Amino acid sequence: MKLKRRGRAHHRKRRNRKWGRRPNRVPPIRTVLGGILVCVGLCMLAAGATLVTPQLCEIPVGLARARVVREPGASTPGASAGVSWQRVSETCPNAVAWLEVPGAGIDLPVMRPTPEDPGYYLTHSAGGLPSPAGAPFMPCESSPDNTHVVVYGHNLAGTGAMFSPLRTCHEQGEFVDVLAGGARWTTSVGATSFHPLCASVVGSDDEEVQRTYFSDEGELREWLRSRVASSTAVAGDAQTWVATAQRALTLVTCSSTTPGQPTRTVVTFVT
C-alpha cells in the first residue's frame, strides 16, 4: 500500500521550521514495492490458513491495548481524556505518533522506518517482530508534526484490521459512514483533531498526493482544493474547511483485495 515516489525538482529547498525543514526526499521505492503483495496474499499462512493477528508492541489486542495508552476514564477511541503520550512512550518507545479513526476502528501507533530500510514496517509489527500485517508508518524522512502528514497502512482483506476499513471510503456513502467521527493524531507535542475532507483512488505512482512540503498556508490550501476537485467522495462542508485549513493528514491503503494492484485509496483530513 505504499505509493511509488519520484523526486520533484521543483520543490523549494529553503528551510522553514513551521512548514517543513526540507523538501521531500524519495526513499528507494524498489525496496518498498516488494512488500506491496503483503496487502492480502501474505496475510494467509497457507491455503485454508488462519489470518495473522496484528501485533502491537507485544501488547494484547482489544480494550486492554487501548487502556495501556489512555488516561484513566478514556479506554476507548475518542474519549475526552485521550491518549497519554507518556504511556505510548513506555509501551511502544519507537512510535512517533498515535492514530485514531473511531469510525474505522483504527487505534494504532504510527512508526517511522530508517532511510536504510524504508519498507521495514510493511513486514514488521510496531514492536519490531516479523508480521505480514505490518504497522502504520510514515515516510522515513517525514516529521509527525509536518504541515501535511502521510501515513501508509495495509488493507488486510476480510479482517477489518489495520487500514482495511478505509479501502472503500472513496465511495461517498462509505466516506460519510466510516469517517464521520474524524481522526485524532497524538504526538509528543500534543493531540490534534482532524475533519474528513475527501477521498479517491489514485495510481500507486501518484506523487502529488504524497507531497508534504508547502511554503505557506496558501500553497497548502491550493493543494487541498485540487484534491477535493479530483476526489470521488467529498465532505459537504469541504470548501469551508479548505478556506481555513492549517494542516492535513492523508491515510493511504490498497484499494483492491487482489495483491499487487497499482491503485491506492487515499483519504485526506484537515484541521
Listing DSSP states for 28-77 in one string gives -HHHHHTTGGGGTGGGBSSTTPPBPPPPBTTBPSSHHHHHHHB-TT--ST
Residues forming a β-bridge with 186? 98, 191
Mean pLDDT computed over 32-58: 35
- Whether the pLDDT of residue 112 is over 80: the answer is yes
What are the residue ranges spanned by the domains of the chain? 52-270
pLDDT tens profile 189-233: 999 999 999 999 999 999 999 999 999 999 999 999 999 999 999
Q: What is the pTM of this model?
A: 0.76
Q: For residue 150, give the amino acid letter.
A: V
Annotation: CATH topology of 52-270: Sortase; Chain: A; (2.40.260)
Between 64 and 129, whose confidence is greater? 129
| Cell representation of residue 21 | 525543514
What phi, psi does 245 have (nearest 5°)?
-60, 140
- Whether the pLDDT of residue 156 is over 60: the answer is yes
- CA gap 28, 8 in Å, rounded: 14
- Whether the pLDDT of residue 13 is over 90: the answer is no
Listing DSSP states for 130-175 in one string gives B-TT---B--TT--TTSSEEEEE--B-TTT--BTGGGTTTTSHHHH
Angle at CA of residue 29, ends 28 and 35, nearest 5°: 120
Mean pLDDT computed over 37-66: 34
Burial of 149 (0-12, 13-18, 19+ CB in 10 A): buried
pLDDT for 82 equals: 73
Instruction: Report residue 4's pLDDT band, with 50, 70 and 90 as the boundaries.
Output: low
pLDDT for 2 equals: 59
pLDDT for 6 equals: 54
User: Above pLDDT 90, what percent of the chain?
Assistant: 61
Largest CA-CA distance found in the chain, in angstroms, rounded: 54
pLDDT for 12 equals: 44
pLDDT for 257 equals: 86
Least-confidence region, from 53-57, 69-73, 126-130, 173-177:
53-57
- CA gap 89, 97 in Å, rounded: 10
| Cell representation of residue 229 | 476537485
